[in-house]
């Protein structure tokens, strides 16, 4: 019994994502994807006429999941435990679609639509990070000026976007371990913790050790 087109499309996306993550997007051809899915190249191109359409579909998935998660952040902010849980959620999505952030500069150069999407996503990340940090300050947890919070926001967005790129270059592998995600969250905690008041600072650094 043949599979329905939508199921075939999903298999193509799932296989492409796995191959792009493991081997890097430029190294994977549509013929290799078709072979892995066990369909003809013509069947693949029926669903995705060009590789660009496939990449765009995966980016749309990534962007949608990131925006949906960012929208979970309440206007009043999280407590400290919720703040770190939220960062972990974001890092897990980034890890699942790591070929995008790992090759982000190359993808933006080749696909203008992705550049627009990345810029929009990073702006939303800035807005949410600023809201959450300001909330921590209002709760008396964070002791930072507006300028210091602005700098922290940029550092958070940079870490979220480029951590896995740095990690893959440092470890010389494109594979991902759970430790890579944990280390990314640890880096974020280490950025914010110095600006916290006691006892939250000590509690946070103790919590951070769970990610090492």
Domains of the chain and CATH, by start: 1-49 (1.10.10.60), 54-211 (1.10.357.10)
- Measured distance between the N- and C-terminal CA atoms of the chain, rounded to whole angstroms: 48
Q: Given a cut of 90, is residue 74 above it in pLDDT?
A: no
pTM equals 0.88
Q: How many Å apart are CA 104 and CA 102, to the nearest integer?
A: 6
Q: How many Å apart are CA 133 and CA 153, to the nearest integer?
A: 8
Tokens, residue 188: 């974020």
pLDDT digits (tens, 9 = 90+) for 92-146: 999 899 999 888 888 999 988 899 999 999 999 999 999 999 999 999 999 999 9
């Amino acid at each position: 019994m043949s599979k329905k087109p939508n199921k075939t499309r999903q298999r193509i996306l799932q296989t492409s994502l796995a191959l792009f993550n493991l081997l890097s997007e430029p190294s994977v051809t549509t013929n290799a994807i078709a072979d892995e899915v066990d369909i003809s190249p013509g069947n693949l191109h029926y669903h995705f006429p060009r590789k660009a359409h496939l990449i765009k579909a995966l980016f749309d998935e990534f962007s949608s999941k990131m925006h949906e998660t960012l929208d979970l952040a309440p206007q009043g902010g999280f407590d400290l435990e919720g703040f770190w849980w939220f960062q972990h959620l974001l890092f897990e999505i980034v890890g699942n679609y790591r070929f995008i952030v790992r090759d982000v500069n190359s993808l933006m150069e080749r696909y203008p639509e992705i550049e627009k999407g990345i810029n929009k996503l990073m702006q939303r990340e800035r807005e949410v990070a600023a809201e959450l940090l300001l909330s921590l300050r209002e709760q008396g947890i964070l002791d930072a000026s507006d300028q210091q919070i602005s700098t922290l926001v940029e550092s958070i967005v940079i870490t979220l976007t480029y951590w896995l790129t740095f990690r893959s270059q440092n470890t010389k592998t494109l594979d991902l371990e759970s430790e890579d995600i944990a280390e990314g969250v640890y880096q974020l905690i280490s950025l914010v913790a110095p600006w916290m008041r006691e006892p939250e600072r000590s509690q946070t650094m103790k919590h951070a050790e769970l990610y090492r």
